[in-house]
Chain A
Amino acid sequence: MQGLGRSLYHLRVRNQDPTTLIGIVLVVLFGYLIAAPIFLLVTDAFVVQFADQGRAGQPMGELTWYYVERVFFSRISMDVFWRPLMHTALISVSAIAIALTVGVPLGWLMSRTDLPAKKWFSTALIVPYMLPSWTFALAWLTLFKNRTTGGSASWMESLGVTPPDWLAYGFLPITLILALHYTPFFILLFGNALRQFDSSLEDAARSIGAKRGTIARKIILPLMLPSLVSASTLIFAKCLGDFGVAYILGVPVGFDVLATSLFRAISTSQTGMSALLALTIVILGSVSIFIDMYLLRQARRFVVIGSKGSMNRTTALRGWRLPAFGFAMSIFLISAFIPLMALLLTTVMKVPGVFALSNFTLDYWIGTDVGTTALKQGILLTPEFWEVTWNTLWIVGSAALGAGFLGLLVGYVVARTEAKSVATFLRQVTFLPYLVPGIAFAAAYLSMFAVPRGPLPALYGTPIILVLAILADQMPFASRAGISGMMQLGRDPEDAARSVGAGFIRRLTSVVVPIQKGALVSGVMLPFISGIKGLSLVVVLAVPGTEVLTTYALRLVDYGYSQASNAVVLMICVIAFGGTMLVQRLTKSNLSDGLGNK
């Protein structure tokens, strides 16, 4: 009798609110949406696939080293893996070097000097990061492409000079574009670190007679090192997964990186190969991110975060004000203004790069007889464009809404549940996509949802797979926002609500959600912006019926309709930029706070 009473008691205590129950539902959900696809990716790489039974000499489903051998050691391994790996490494290292050279001085100018128009620059110089990286690849094509690819002539060609291949495609432009796109990492991370740096440390050094150069070398640099390392590893991880730039500028001349090699394996249905390639990218990405996390943890031991009295002293540039301004301005012009203007102008010019009044036209936007075979009217009059825009808005919109709310729920469960194992699992599983570059995550989704699984039919070709993939891909940010929001909130407001008689649902709707409104807005908006910009994930999963703006733009590039694709890209930029500014305004936050998030 007593034993029965006790079990009843524990049952009642456990079920006083459904937090743990919700936690278990979330565990199942994310096990299905995140852990299972990645697990399948791993197994796909090591068991014989249907198409390879003959070549592997083993029946389907058996464990095999066939793909390992093929990717790393076979005759084609040079083409599918080693050369792309080399290219990827070269590009990342060069891009990091360039971004460092440009970003560190800018970070210093922005945080510690009296640079003119500092506030304006603080937004202007970050613009490249707000926009999709491959936007700049398109701009590059607009300016420098040659007859290797079709479509209208580039500006340079119109000026009578044919750009050589090394300038138009491949290593040089890819590196430059990635470098400029990720320079904001250095500006923000290094700048923030400098801003938090306590000037009294400098004063202390000066008071015992250290020279400026010595102070910079012996005091400031060691303390700034973590931010530099962090920015570098983040850029490396991003370059590893960046698909669009290499696809647009590399593929025309057969210049492959890991991401494009993986894309080719996927598009030729080599499941086993693509799984192994994806896995390799995941491992490289994870290693770099773990190195970053480790170094940051190490750094926290000695980082002196500004105390209340910390001052950050402004260095007067004096005679260098103008040259410094010129430097910052030229970086803005090169990395944001010129590419965007080139894109914009192309869409209103009949022949690119010819500045005559008669050459300007609005036909590519609103014309009715452009004279091309497929896209006979301006982009704004093309029904397909509006279909795709609508697709994008509802697919990405529902994914972002889902991610935002699930993120808050994850935060709630992690902060509240007494089942520690549930909390730990949720925390880790929602972080997992962060380690997986979009293109590899897409490969994982193909492994999972290209065939019927359990009660679900095959989802490939439906918009649902896109919604789920984007949602899962955005979970690292959304759940982190939710968790930190709930941790900050603490239990008290909810306990207070309990004490006046509010039940679980009531507490959630009247107390938790309203208080977390800000976190929820950014938890929905930021995934939305990031989803609108995203290319690598959707390029694998979208089919003609479920196209979104990014894949549509890419298809237009493939067809050679540069004006139309540029117009689409500009629309994406407008949405991404406007959205980012809106979020910053709404949440009074700064982009740098969320840096390092996808």
Chain B
Amino acid sequence: MSSISIRDVRKTYSKSAAPAVDRLNIEIPKSDFLCLLGPSGCGKTTTLRMIAGLEHPTEGKIVVGDRTVVSVDEGIYVPAEDRDMGLVFQNYALWPHMTVAENVEFGLKLRKVPKPERDRIINDTLEKLAIARYRDRLPSQLSGGQQQRVALARMLALKPDVILLDEPLSNLDAKLRLEMRAELKRIHAEMGATIVFVTHDQWEAMTLATTIAVMSEGELQQLGTPDDIYERPANRFVAEFVGNLPINIVELQDNSTNPLSAWVHGMLADIRLTAPAGSVGIRPEHVRLVPVETSPRPATVIDIVPTGGSWIVELSADGEKFFAITPEPPGVAPGEQVGLSVPHESLHIFDAAGSRIEAVLQQTTGGKS
């Protein structure tokens, strides 16, 4: 089991273009399940491929366990085929001319594992992933979910210390995704391997990872546990990217008459900030709907969407869209006026540049508005 250390890594594809990955530093402890999360083009797949050795960094160093696999300054570069990592591709990349068993066997052959041992490993692995009966089929004769399992089997048969997964669930339907998710968790628990996986799907990241690294435009935005990422987003990008329903953002204008901004300003008056606030984020589940007389902030209900167990209420406050989620039927109808109420402690406060500001609540006034 190996830790992975990514140090000051930069990758540019051409001299003129913006770097695909820049100033990247991540320490992944051994047996961690790290997720690289971000929108497409954020550099997450490039990072994964650099760990795998399929791309080479322009600057920086990557150390796996106690082995430096790449270091630009020291002139070290271990090619992908000598890194002994397990890699699973988004489109599975099974070899179309080999049967399921042959796909799994290929890597074992390269490692000169003797034939009886090879057969035992192939059987065990296929058995474990419940695809033993397809062993003599070609990949084209398998469904997407089965192909995915073969790709996993091919990788697991080699018992790698480090497992790299590139959007492994994105081509599966909802039910298979749940199944594979459980499978990945089981593999992680059983093997204790260090897993790095890439996804743009925050649900996948939240449910699988022990650590999430959120990336945007080639740079690391935040590294933390799923709870950290959700509860304490380091900046507006993370706050907006993570969350099933988009977070409500209120831009604060200093001396404006904008009622929404004025309302939030009013709430911030009770809070001591370490820096001037530029905007505030409010998660929909923290928005409470109260009778319009009891709240300084009225809003109009536009639509109510039941999602089974909870209700999404789409609101309009002074022309701005605002979302709330309620665990019970909201008891209002479209067109009606409601009041908004938000607990102070659930405000995410960002400075003008979008970075999180730590707030100290002043106990003197407290309460809710």
State the majority secondary structure of interface residues on B. Answer: loop
**Which of A16, A501, A503 lies in contact with B84, CB distance below 8 A?**
A501
Return A494 CB to nearest CB of chain B, in Å: 9
CA distance A351 to B71 in the complex (A): 85
Which of B72, B81, B82 has the most chain A CB atoms closer than 10 A to its own CB? B81
Per the CB 8 Å criterion, the residue count for chain B at the interface is: 35
User: Which residues from B are CB-within-8-Å of A422?
Assistant: none
For B14-54 the 0/1 string (1 means CB < 8 A from A) is 00000000000000000000000000000000000000111
Q: Residue A308 at the B interface, CB < 8 A?
A: no
Per the CB 8 Å criterion, the residue count for chain A at the interface is: 28
Q: Residue A498 at the B interface, CB < 8 A?
A: yes
User: Which residues from B are CB-within-8-Å of A356?
Assistant: none
* Also in contact, A5 and B74, with CB within 8 A (given A492-B89, A501-B111): yes
Which of A16, A496, A499, A515 has the most chain B CB atoms closer than 10 A to its own CB? A499
**Which of B79, B154, B155 lies in contact with A498, CB distance below 8 A?**
B79
- Nearest residue (CB) in B for A503 is B81
* Also in contact, A498 and B97, with CB within 8 A (given A4-B75, A506-B110): no
Whether the Cβ atoms of B87 and A496 lie closer than 8 Å is: yes
Which of B56, B75, B76, B91 has the most chain A CB atoms closer than 10 A to its own CB? B75
* Also in contact, A9 and B77, with CB within 8 A (given A495-B87, A499-B85): yes
* Also in contact, A496 and B73, with CB within 8 A (given A501-B81, A502-B110): no
Q: Residue A301 at the B interface, CB < 8 A?
A: no
User: For chain B residues 110-147, which have a beta carbon within 8 Å of chain A?
Assistant: 110-111
Whether the Cβ atoms of B54 and A9 lie closer than 8 Å is: no
User: Which residues from B are CB-within-8-Å of A268?
Assistant: none
Q: Residue A331 at the B interface, CB < 8 A?
A: no
Whether the Cβ atoms of B95 and A497 lie closer than 8 Å is: yes
Whether the Cβ atoms of A495 and B54 lie closer than 8 Å is: yes
CA distance A270 to B322 in the complex (A): 87
Whether the Cβ atoms of B76 and A9 lie closer than 8 Å is: yes
**Which of B54, B77, B82, B95 lies in contact with A501, CB distance below 8 A?**
B82
- Nearest residue (CB) in A for B97 is A514
Q: Residue B80 at the A interface, CB < 8 A?
A: yes
Whether the Cβ atoms of A495 and B89 lie closer than 8 Å is: yes
Q: Residue A358 at the B interface, CB < 8 A?
A: no
Whether the Cβ atoms of B106 and A502 lie closer than 8 Å is: yes
User: Which residues from A are CB-within-8-Å of B76?
Assistant: 9, 12
CA distance A195 to B85 in the complex (A): 49
Q: Residue B93 at the A interface, CB < 8 A?
A: yes
CA distance A6 to B61 in the complex (A): 12
Q: Residue B290 at the A interface, CB < 8 A?
A: no
* Also in contact, A16 and B77, with CB within 8 A (given A495-B87, A501-B82): yes
Q: Residue A560 at the B interface, CB < 8 A?
A: no
User: Which residues from A are CB-within-8-Å of B79?
Assistant: 16-17, 498
Q: Residue A500 at the B interface, CB < 8 A?
A: yes
Q: Residue A207 at the B interface, CB < 8 A?
A: no
CA distance A510 to B79 in the complex (A): 19
Whether the Cβ atoms of B93 and A492 lie closer than 8 Å is: yes
For A1-20 the 0/1 string (1 means CB < 8 A from B) is 01011111100110011000
**Which of B53, B75, B81, B97 lies in contact with A5, CB distance below 8 A?**
B75
Q: Residue B317 at the A interface, CB < 8 A?
A: no
Return A12 CB to nearest CB of chain B, in Å: 4
Whether the Cβ atoms of A7 and B87 lie closer than 8 Å is: no
Return A517 CB to nearest CB of chain B, in Å: 7
CA distance A497 to B111 in the complex (A): 13
Return B151 CB to nearest CB of chain A, in Å: 8
Whether the Cβ atoms of B77 and A13 lie closer than 8 Å is: yes
**Which of A7, A8, A497 lies in contact with B106, CB distance below 8 A?**
A497
User: Which residues from B are CB-within-8-Å of A502?
Assistant: 81, 106-107, 110
Q: Residue A545 at the B interface, CB < 8 A?
A: no
Whether the Cβ atoms of B158 and A500 lie closer than 8 Å is: yes
Whether the Cβ atoms of A7 and B77 lie closer than 8 Å is: no
Q: Residue B298 at the A interface, CB < 8 A?
A: no
Whether the Cβ atoms of A498 and B75 lie closer than 8 Å is: no
CA distance A493 to B94 in the complex (A): 6
For B317-353 the 0/1 string (1 means CB < 8 A from A) is 0000000000000000000000000000000000000
- Nearest residue (CB) in B for A515 is B97
Not counting A492-B93, A496-B94, a sample of 12 additional A-B residue pairs whose C-beta atoms are within 8 angstroms of each other reads A4-B75, A9-B77, A495-B52, A495-B93, A498-B53, A498-B79, A498-B80, A499-B86, A500-B110, A502-B106, A511-B95, A515-B95
Using CB atoms and an 8 Å cutoff, list the residues of chain A in contact with chain B. Answer: 2, 4-9, 12-13, 16-17, 492-493, 495-503, 506, 510-511, 514-515, 517
Can you offer 11 A-B residue contacts whose CB atoms are under 8 A?
A: A5-B73, A6-B75, A9-B71, A492-B93, A493-B94, A495-B80, A497-B81, A498-B53, A498-B79, A498-B81, A502-B107
In the A-B complex, list the 3 residue pairs whose CB atoms are closest, starting with the nearest.
Answer: A8-B75, A500-B107, A492-B93
